[in-house]
A = this chain, B = another copy of it.
């Protein structure tokens, strides 16, 4: 374990995220103490091996505030206040909320603001509560650390040690940068996905019968909890509104181009989108790889996927992504295997030699 995390790490809020952090820290040999407004959550988390209930003598080296968005600001201030009262002048406080500028602004007059450094792990689950927690939740995921002007260098290092203990990949950003980044990579895409999904509500079933994989992909994130996402997006209103205005202006351009039959204008908007898809970082943060899709017809019952992947494994071709196409009306699924462009033909030959029906 990192020396920076000696002395207990206190996790405030033993929900999914807090308990997962606690489990990862325990696995890394760190002493963890837990607090929660729900005594039951603390009992459950300790029973899972996520640490022990906090006692008054504990002076934490690091407090991780992992409470719902609406309670973050108060909980962060309370943790800093408590550290002053307890004489814990070395105690660092972080939080794991989805927005970073507003909580910092609320602390601007706090005498211990140098010891607060916000952070944001890019991981979650549709489930909640300590029973859903896992020490592996953050494994390999980006985790933003939001250094601000008044932050102590030691405080940043301690939060970085937490990120490392959780197996995540640190991304250093200022709070403002972070909020603009997640507006772009998460909040606005979520809103747009939700607007598209909204057009399907109440549509005629025979029209929805033409639904393909494309619109399913576009609307997937709109399946998230509206109450939670309205909290998150409202907490980042300035960055979201700014970017949403840009999108609205481009939507107006698209609408004009479609209405006027301006095919060149429409094509240039679509080309701008294509350029955007190519800006997304590739697997493992490396350069974007050109992948090709190989489609395989697979009978829809257990065992067939195993047989397919055994044959894929034997071919030696690495699979970048997989999807199973939901086909209406037939008991045969299409499995799409995304592989490096140069490997596609080889994979198809290998699978066809084993009797699979493939196409690109």
Residue numbers of A with Cβ under 8 A of B are 122, 125-127, 132-134, 136-137, 139-142, 144, 167, 169, 171-173, 177-178, 180-182, 184-186, 188-212, 214-224, 226-227, 229-231, 233-234, 237, 240-241, 243-248, 250-252, 254-255, 258-259, 261, 263-264, 266-277, 279-285, 293, 295, 297, 300-324, 326-334, 357-360
B237–A259 CB distance below 8 A? yes
22 A-B pairs in the complex with CB atoms less than 8 angstroms apart = A127-B360, A132-B360, A139-B327, A140-B328, A142-B209, A169-B328, A181-B206, A181-B208, A182-B210, A189-B214, A197-B274, A199-B246, A199-B247, A209-B285, A211-B280, A222-B274, A222-B276, A224-B274, A244-B251, A248-B251, A302-B318, A306-B310
Return the contact of A199 from the options B178, B243, B263 (Cβ within 8 A): B243
A196-B192, A199-B184, A310-B306 are known contacts. Are A284 and B326 too (CB-CB below 8 A)?
Answer: yes
Contacts of A327 on B, CB cut-off 8 Å? 139-141, 283-284
A246-B199, A255-B245 are known contacts. Are A214 and B207 too (CB-CB below 8 A)?
Answer: no
A140–B330 CB distance below 8 A? yes
A297 vs chain B, min Cβ distance (A)? 6
Q: Which of A122, A178, A229, A276 has the most CB of B within 10 A?
A: A276
The complex places the Cα of A18 from the Cα of B248 at a distance, in Å, of 39
A332 vs chain B, min Cβ distance (A)? 6
Return the contact of A267 from the options B221, B230, B267 (Cβ within 8 A): B230
B241–A251 CB distance below 8 A? no
B217–A285 CB distance below 8 A? no
A263 vs chain B, min Cβ distance (A)? 5
A313 vs chain B, min Cβ distance (A)? 3
Nearest CB to that of A268 among chain B residues?
B226
B251–A251 CB distance below 8 A? yes
A142-B328, A215-B185, A324-B322 are known contacts. Are A223 and B302 too (CB-CB below 8 A)?
Answer: no
Contacts of A181 on B, CB cut-off 8 Å? 203-204, 206-208, 210
The complex places the Cα of A320 from the Cα of B216 at a distance, in Å, of 14
One complex includes copies of this chain to the number of 2
Contacts of A276 on B, CB cut-off 8 Å? 196-201, 219, 222
B195–A247 CB distance below 8 A? yes
A359–B134 CB distance below 8 A? yes
The complex places the Cα of A132 from the Cα of B300 at a distance, in Å, of 25
B233–A266 CB distance below 8 A? yes
Return the contact of A306 from the options B197, B219, B279, B312 (Cβ within 8 A): B312
The complex places the Cα of A318 from the Cα of B334 at a distance, in Å, of 15
The complex places the Cα of A14 from the Cα of B32 at a distance, in Å, of 67
A311 vs chain B, min Cβ distance (A)? 8
A208 vs chain B, min Cβ distance (A)? 6
B297–A316 CB distance below 8 A? no
- Apart from A134-B360, A185-B208, A198-B269, what 13 extra A-B contacts exist at CB < 8 Å? A140-B328, A140-B334, A142-B209, A185-B215, A189-B218, A196-B276, A197-B277, A201-B279, A205-B281, A281-B328, A306-B306, A309-B310, A322-B324
